[in-house]
């Protein structure tokens, strides 16, 4: 059996294969942040298509932490029921589920609210971004609580796994970077201080809930004197010590113009996952322009990562796993009602 289609034990959650659908915002919620029929069909199609682990898109832990007014949310108990229905569907179809808990920070484009950030630095003059308010210590405490409450709601809704969004220039990522975090209190300055918010939220979530926790990071922000892979290795050690189950290794997104951005080509982010896998005994998910079965298989064979995320490929092709299963002669992973197509 090829590794990509082999099972994997993520904490107490058994995955049927190593193919992950990474979180991808669909901006299809109404302004109440509740899940819609679109989400049921969208995620359901990938579950029928055989994906082992579906990570539901960035879901805001408070209303002003949405990227747009059409993001999903879990800041209110009334948002739980829709996620419960989604979990019932995805579980019945054989996928395991995670949800990415997120706060957009200074990248929020919500109409009514002022974005918040570690420091009052605008993301970009264009694109409708607003100057953020720099959080005070009490407001940081409230955001920590919002993450924990959203985590509890996610578990009530039946998610198997949680993912914390600490990547792509959203709030927690903004705290990590020396360029976007110019605070001089406990949450700014040294690397240790800049990592504090992500780590405290992980600790609080792990203390409260019994489910594997993944953390998505931007391994490098592609800027001179910015957050880099060495910082990510430091953070990954700390995450591992806390009991975080996996690092989901992405990159970039913290600046409108990224001066050290690499060429966007196949596997362009996978080396970061390899470096974290080699330096820290924490399992990883690799992501970023991985589009073929053989690319994913090679990443697993070379012990670059433990799971492989296919983002846009799964948007193009919800039945991608079926195609891999046919190519690798593993037809039991093809939805039985679709077998006559293969």
- For residue 220, the minimal CB distance to ligand FMN (Å) is 14
The CA dihedral of 121, 69, 84, 316, to the nearest 10 degrees, is -90
- For residue 165, the minimal CB distance to ligand FMN (Å) is 5
CA 195 → CA 207, 280, 320, 323, distances in Å? 18, 17, 37, 41
- For residue 290, the minimal CB distance to ligand FMN (Å) is 6
- For residue 13, the minimal CB distance to ligand FMN (Å) is 20
Mark 145-178 as b/e (b = at least 16 C-beta within 10 Å). ebbbbbbbbbbebbbbbbbbbbbbbbbbbbbbbb
Q: What is the Cα–Cα distance from 262 to 37, expressed in whole angstroms?
A: 38
Of 217 and 330, which has the nearer Cβ to ligand FMN?
217
- For residue 332, the minimal CB distance to ligand FMN (Å) is 26
Q: What is the Cα–Cα distance from 213 to 209, expressed in whole angstroms?
A: 9
Of 134 and 315, which has the nearer Cβ to ligand FMN?
315
Residue nearest to ligand FMN (CB): 311
Of 188 and 273, which has the nearer Cβ to ligand FMN?
273
Task: Note whether 157 and 83 are within 8 A (CB).
Answer: yes
Of 28 and 240, which has the nearer Cβ to ligand FMN?
28
Residues that bind ligand FMN (CB under 6 A): 22-25, 57-58, 100, 165, 167-168, 216, 250, 287-290, 310-313
- For residue 188, the minimal CB distance to ligand FMN (Å) is 24
Q: What is the Cα–Cα distance from 229 to 251, expressed in whole angstroms?
A: 10
DSSP H stretches of helix in 93-132: none
Q: What is the Cα–Cα distance from 217 to 155, expressed in whole angstroms?
A: 22
Task: Note whether 63 and 71 are within 8 A (CB).
Answer: no
Of 183 and 275, which has the nearer Cβ to ligand FMN?
275
- For residue 184, the minimal CB distance to ligand FMN (Å) is 29
Task: Note whether 239 and 203 are within 8 A (CB).
Answer: no
Of 183 and 197, which has the nearer Cβ to ligand FMN?
197
Of 99 and 223, which has the nearer Cβ to ligand FMN?
99
Mark 198-214 as b/e (b = at least 16 C-beta within 10 Å). bbbbbeebbeebebbbb
């Amino acid at each position: 059996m090829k590794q990509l289609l082999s099972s994997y034990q993520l904490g107490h959650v058994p995955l049927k294969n190593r193919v992950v659908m990474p979180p991808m915002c669909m901006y299809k919620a109404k302004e109440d942040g509740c899940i819609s029929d679109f989400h049921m069909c969208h995620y359901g199609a990938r579950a029928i298509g055989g994906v082992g682990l579906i990570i539901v898109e960035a879901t805001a832990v408070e209303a002003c932490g949405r990227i747009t007014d059409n993001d999903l949310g879990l800041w209110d108990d009334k948002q739980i029921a829709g996620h419960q229905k989604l979990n019932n569907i995805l579980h019945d179809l054989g996928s395991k589920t995670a949800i990415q808990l997120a706060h957009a920070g200074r990248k929020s484009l919500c109409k009514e609210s002022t974005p918040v950030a570690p420091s009052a630095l605008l993301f970009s003059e264009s694109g409708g971004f607003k100057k953020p308010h720099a959080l005070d210590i009490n407001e940081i405490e409230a955001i920590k609580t919002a993450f924990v409450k959203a985590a509890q709601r996610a578990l009530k809704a039946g998610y198997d796994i949680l993912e914390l969004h600490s990547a792509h220039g959203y709030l927690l990522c903004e705290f990590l970077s020396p360029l976007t975090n110019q605070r001089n209190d406990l949450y700014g300055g040294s690397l240790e201080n800049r990592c504090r918010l992500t780590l405290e939220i992980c600790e609080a979530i792990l203390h409260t809930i019994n489910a594997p926790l993944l953390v998505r990071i931007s391994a490098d922000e592609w800027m001179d004197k910015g957050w880099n892979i060495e910082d990510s290795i430091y953070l990954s050690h700390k995450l591992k010590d806390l009991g975080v189950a996996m690092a989901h290794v992405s990159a970039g997104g913290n600046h409108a113009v990224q001066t050290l951005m690499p060429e966007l080509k196949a596997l362009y982010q996978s080396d970061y996952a390899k470096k974290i896998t080699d330096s820290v005994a924490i399992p990883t998910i690799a992501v970023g322009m991985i589009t073929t079965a053989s690319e994913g298989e090679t990443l697993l064979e070379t012990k670059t990562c433990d799971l492989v995320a296919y983002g846009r490929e799964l948007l193009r092709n919800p039945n991608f796993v079926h195609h891999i299963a046919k190519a690798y002669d593993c037809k039991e992973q093809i939805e039985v009602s679709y077998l006559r197509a293969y």
